[in-house]
C-alpha cells in the first residue's frame, strides 16, 4: 500500500513569531516507510493523545486501577532502601551500635569515626552505582519483571551479611552488596510507574516512590526508638532482620504484574502490548471510549520517531544530540536532591544530639520529622497538578536556602542556649517538610518524564548514578561537619550547604523546563525544536498530525 506524505512548508525558524515549525519531509517519509498504514496509524495516535489529555483524575483512577496497584507494589521495594539508608544514618546516634562498632571519643561518648561513617555510606553508593548500570542493561533486554525478580532474590540473600556482621568491615561488605539490588530498585520502580500510567497519573505514581522512601525512613526511626532501651546486640540486629519482611510480598506482586507496554512496543511486540494494557486497565474501558489499539499506535509512532531521529539505545546515545540536554536535566535534578542540603537537614537525629538533645529527645523529634516529611509528599500530589513541576521545585530550593542560612546563623554561638537549639530544630523541621513537599517528590516525577521513551531506563540510570556520585561527595563532607571527632561545626554547617543550594537554584531557574501535562511525543517535539526551559509551558504542541509535526506559540491557536 502506497502512503502519501504531505509536503510541509516551514514558514520560519522563529518560535517567537508564532510560526508553525514542522519536522523535515525526510523524517515524515522515513516514518511512512517504517509504519504500515501510516495515515491511519497517525489518526489512531491522535485519538489516543486527545483521549489521554481529556482524562480527569477520577476518570484516570477508574480506568487504570490495576496499573496503580502494580506500580504501588513494585515501589514498595524503595521502602527497603529508604529504611536501610535511614537506619545507617540513625545508627550513628544509637548508643548500642556506636559502642559496638565505634570508638570512645574525648567527650566520653562512643562514636563511629567520621572515616567509617563516610566509608559505610559510600559503600552503599558504590554498590548502587554498579547495580544501576547492570540493571539498565538487563532491563532493556529482558524487561522489568525479570530484572525486578532477580534484584529481590539478591537483596534477600545479602541481608544475611548485615544481620550476622561481626565487625565494621562486614557491615561495609554488606552495604556494598545490598547496594546492588537497591540500585536496580531505584531505576525500575520509577520508570515502570511512568510507563504503565497515563500522563495525568504520572505525578502520583512517580512521586509515590518518594513516599515509599520517606515511609522507609519513618519505619526505621520508629523501630530504633522502640528498641532504644535494649542494651544487647539485638538492639541493632532486629532492625536489620526487619528488612526480610518486604521481599516475599513484593515478589508475589511482581509475578502477577504485566510487563510495561512501552517496553513491549520497543521490542516489536505490539500484540503483547495490547494484552498488557488490558491487564492494566479496568473493564470500564469500552464504556469510557478507551481504545487499547489507539494507545499502542501512539506508543508506536512515538517510538518510531525517536528511533529514526536517534541512532540507538545505548548509554552513549544519552549523551548525543538533543538527548544530551535531556540527560543533563535529569542528572542535575537528582544531584540537586543531595546538593540542596538534605544530607545535613535530613540527618536530624544525629544533628540534634550534637546541639544538645538527649538520645530519647532526638529520636522522638526524628519520628515527628519523618511524619511531617510523609505528609509533605502527599501534599505535593495536589500542589504539583496545579502549579507544575518547575515552580514547585524552584520555590522549594529558595525556602531551603533560607532555612540553611538561618540554621547557620544560630550555630555561630559556641555554647548555644536551649532556645537556640530548639529554634534550630524547628528550622530543620521546616527544611525537611519543604524538601518532601518539593524537591524530593518532584525530582522523581521529572526524571521519569524528561527522557525519551527509548532511553528512559538508561537516562534514569545515569541520573541516579549522578545522584549516587553526589551522595559520595556528601558522605565525605557531611560527617566531618557534624562529628565531634572532626570539624564539629554543628549549626554553622548550614552555611556550607546553603552555598550548594544557591547554585542549585540558579541552575534550575535557567535550565529546568516544565513538563506538566505533556505526553512523551510532545516533549520530543519541544526538545527537538530546542525550546528554552522558561518557554516550555507557553507552547502548544500537536505531534500526531498525519501531515506535519508542528509546534506553535500559545497565542497562535486558531491561525
Confidence of residue 372 (pLDDT cuts 50, 70, 90): confident
Question: Can you give the pTM of this predicted structure?
Answer: 0.80
SS3 sequence of 222-268: HHHHHCCCCCCCHHHHHHHHHHHHCHHHHHHHHHHCCCCHHHHHHCC
pLDDT at 291 over 60: yes
Average per-residue pLDDT in the chain? 83
Q: What value does the mean pLDDT take over residues 340-364? A: 73
Whole-number Å distance between alpha carbons of 76 and 86: 16
Which phi-psi region, left, alpha or beta, contains residue 305 (left: φ > 0; alpha: ψ -120 to 50)? alpha
C-alpha cell at 177: 552488596
pLDDT at 366 over 80: no
Cβ atoms within 10 Å, residue 496: 18
Distances (CA, A) of 13 to 19, 22, 390, 482, 537: 8, 10, 26, 54, 19
Q: Which residues contact 177 (CB under 8 A, 6 or more apart)?
A: 127, 158, 161
Q: What value does the mean pLDDT take over residues 261-272? A: 93
Nearest 5°: phi and psi at 498? -65, -35
Burial class from Cβ neighbours inside 10 Å (0-12, 13-18, 19+) for residue 294 reads buried
Confidence of residue 312 (pLDDT cuts 50, 70, 90): low
- 388 or 111: whose pLDDT is higher? 388
Whole-number Å distance between alpha carbons of 360 and 363: 5
Please write the tens of the pLDDT for every residue from 378-399.
999 889 888 889 999 999 999 9
Q: What whole-number percentage of the chain has pLDDT above 90? A: 35
- What's residue 556's pLDDT? 35
Whole-number Å distance between alpha carbons of 336 and 348: 19
pLDDT at 210 over 50: yes
How do the residues of the chain divide into helix, strand and coil, expressed in percent and rounded to 5? Answer: 75, 5, 25
Whole-number Å distance between alpha carbons of 377 and 209: 10
Give the total residue count for the chain.
Answer: 559
Please write the tens of the pLDDT for every residue from 28-79.
677 778 888 888 888 898 899 889 989 999 999 999 999 999 999 998 888 8
pLDDT at 274 over 90: yes
pLDDT at 400 over 90: yes
Residues 467 and 334: beta-carbon distance below 8 Å = yes
- What's residue 350's pLDDT? 66
Question: Crossing angle of helices 65-75/168-195, nearest 10°?
Answer: 170
pLDDT at 458 over 70: yes
Whole-number Å distance between alpha carbons of 23 and 27: 7
- What's residue 510's pLDDT? 94
- What's residue 27's pLDDT? 65
- 104 or 258: whose pLDDT is higher? 258
Residues 15 and 553: beta-carbon distance below 8 Å = yes
Separate counts of helices (H) and strands (E) for the chain: 25, 5
Q: What value does the mean pLDDT take over residues 146-159? A: 94
pLDDT at 82 over 80: yes
Cβ atoms within 10 Å, residue 7: 8
- What's residue 485's pLDDT? 65
Confidence of residue 471 (pLDDT cuts 50, 70, 90): confident
Strand 110-111 vs strand 103-104: parallel, antiparallel, or unpaired?
Answer: antiparallel
Cα end-to-end span (Å), the chain: 34
- DSSP H or E run through 43: helix 38-54
Whole-number Å distance between alpha carbons of 442 and 333: 9
Q: How far is Cα of residue 292 from the mean position of the Cα atoms in its chain?
A: 28
Whole-number Å distance between alpha carbons of 255 and 97: 37
Residues 384 and 210: beta-carbon distance below 8 Å = no
Letter string b/e over residues 394-433, b meaning 16 or more CB atoms within 10 A of that residue's CB: bbbbebbbbbbbbbbbbbeeeebeeebbbbbbebbbbbbb
pLDDT at 353 over 80: no
- DSSP H or E run through 440: helix 439-449
Residues 82 and 358: beta-carbon distance below 8 Å = no
Domains and CATH numbers, the chain: 21-54+262-284+291-310+518-554 (no CATH), 62-257+312-451+455-511 (1.20.1250.20)
- What's residue 87's pLDDT? 81
Whole-number Å distance between alpha carbons of 148 and 144: 6
- What's residue 555's pLDDT? 36
Please write the tens of the pLDDT for every residue from 505-539.
999 999 999 999 888 888 888 888 888 898 888 78
pLDDT at 474 over 70: yes
Residues 474 and 328: beta-carbon distance below 8 Å = no
Angle at 368 between CA 363 and CA 374, to 5 degrees: 125
Amino acid at each position: 500500500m502506497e502512503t502519501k506524505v504531505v509536503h510541509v512548508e516551514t514558514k520560519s525558524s522563529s518560535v517567537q513569531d508564532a510560526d508553525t515549525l514542522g519536522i523535515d519531509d525526510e523524517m515524515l517519509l522515513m516514518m511512512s516507510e517504517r509504519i504500515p498504514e501510516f495515515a491511519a496509524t497517525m489518526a489512531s495516535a491522535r485519538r489516543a493523545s486527545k483521549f489521554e489529555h481529556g482524562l480527569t483524575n477520577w476518570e484516570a483512577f477508574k480506568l487504570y486501577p490495576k496499573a496503580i496497584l502494580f506500580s504501588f507494589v513494585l515501589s514498595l521495594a524503595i521502602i527497603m532502601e529508604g529504611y536501610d539508608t535511614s537506619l545507617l544514618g540513625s545508627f550513628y546516634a544509637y548508643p548500642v551500635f556506636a559502642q559496638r562498632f565505634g570508638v570512645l571519643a574525648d567527650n566520653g561518648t562512643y562514636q563511629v569515626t567520621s572515616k567509617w561513617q563516610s566509608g559505610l555510606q559510600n559503600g552503599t553508593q558504590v554498590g548502587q552505582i554498579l547495580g544501576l548500570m547492570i540493571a539498565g542493561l538487563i532491563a532493556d533486554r529482558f524487561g522489568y519483571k525479570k530484572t525486578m525478580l532477580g534484584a529481590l532474590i539478591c537483596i534477600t540473600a545479602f541481608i544475611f551479611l548485615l544481620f550476622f556482621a561481626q565487625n565494621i568491615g562486614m557491615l561495609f561488605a554488606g552495604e556494598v552488596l545490598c547496594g546492588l539490588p537497591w540500585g536496580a530498585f531505584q531505576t525500575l520502580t520509577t520508570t515502570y510507574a511512568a510507563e504503565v500510567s497515563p500522563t495525568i497519573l504520572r505525578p502520583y505514581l512517580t512521586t509515590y516512590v518518594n513516599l515509599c522512601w520517606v515511609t522507609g525512613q519513618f519505619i526505621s526511626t520508629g523501630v530504633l526508638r522502640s528498641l532504644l532501651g535494649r542494651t544487647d546486640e539485638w538492639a541493632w540486629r532486629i532492625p536489620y532482620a526487619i528488612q526480610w519482611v518486604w521481599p516475599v510480598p513484593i515478589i508475589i506482586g511482581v509475578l502477577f504484574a504485566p510487563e510495561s507496554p512501552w517496553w513491549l512496543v520497543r521490542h516489536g511486540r505490539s500484540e503483547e502490548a495490547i494484552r498488557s494494557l488490558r491487564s492494566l486497565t479496568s473493564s470500564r474501558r469500552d464504556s469510557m471510549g478507551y481504545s487499547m489499539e489507539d494507545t499502542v499506535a501512539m506508543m508506536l509512532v512515538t517510538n518510531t520517531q525517536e528511533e529514526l531521529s536517534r541512532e540507538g539505545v545505548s548509554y552513549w546515545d544519552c549523551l548525543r544530540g538533543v538527548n544530551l540536554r535531556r540527560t543533563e536535566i535529569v542528572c542535575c535534578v537528582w544531584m540537586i536532591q543531595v546538593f540542596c542540603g538534605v544530607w545535613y537537614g535530613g540527618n536530624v537525629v544525629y544533628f540534634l544530639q550534637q546541639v544538645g538533645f538527649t538520645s530519647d529527645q532526638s529520636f522522638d523529634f526524628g519520628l515527628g520529622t519523618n511524619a511531617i516529611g510523609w505528609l509533605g509528599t502527599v501534599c505535593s500530589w495536589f500542589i504539583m497538578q496545579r502549579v507544575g513541576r518547575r515552580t514547585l521545585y524552584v520555590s522549594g530550593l529558595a525556602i531551603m536556602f533560607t532555612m540553611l542560612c538561618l540554621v547557620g546563623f544560630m550555630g555561630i554561638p559556641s555554647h548555644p542556649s536551649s532556645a537556640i537549639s530548639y529554634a534550630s530544630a524547628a528550622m530543620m523541621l521546616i527544611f525537611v517538610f519543604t524538601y518532601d513537599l518539593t524537591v524530593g517528590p518532584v525530582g522523581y516525577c521529572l526524571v521519569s518524564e524528561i527522557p525519551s521513551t527509548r532511553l528512559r531506563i538508561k537516562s534514569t540510570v545515569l541520573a541516579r548514578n549522578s545522584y549516587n556520585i553526589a551522595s559520595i561527595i556528601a558522605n565525605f563532607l557531611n560527617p566531618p561537619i557534624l562529628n565531634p571527632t572532626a570539624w564539629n561545626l554543628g549549626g554553622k554547617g548550614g552555611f556550607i550547604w546553603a552555598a550548594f543550594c544557591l547554585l542549585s537554584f540558579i541552575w534550575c531557574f535557567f535550565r529546568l523546563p516544565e513538563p506538566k501535562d505533556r505526553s512523551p511525543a510532545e516533549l520530543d517535539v519541544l526538545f527537538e525544536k530546542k525550546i528554552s526551559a522558561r518557554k516550555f509551558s507557553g507552547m502548544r504542541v500537536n505531534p500526531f498530525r498525519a501531515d506535519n509535526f508542528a509546534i506553535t506559540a500559545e497565542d497562535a491557536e486558531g491561525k
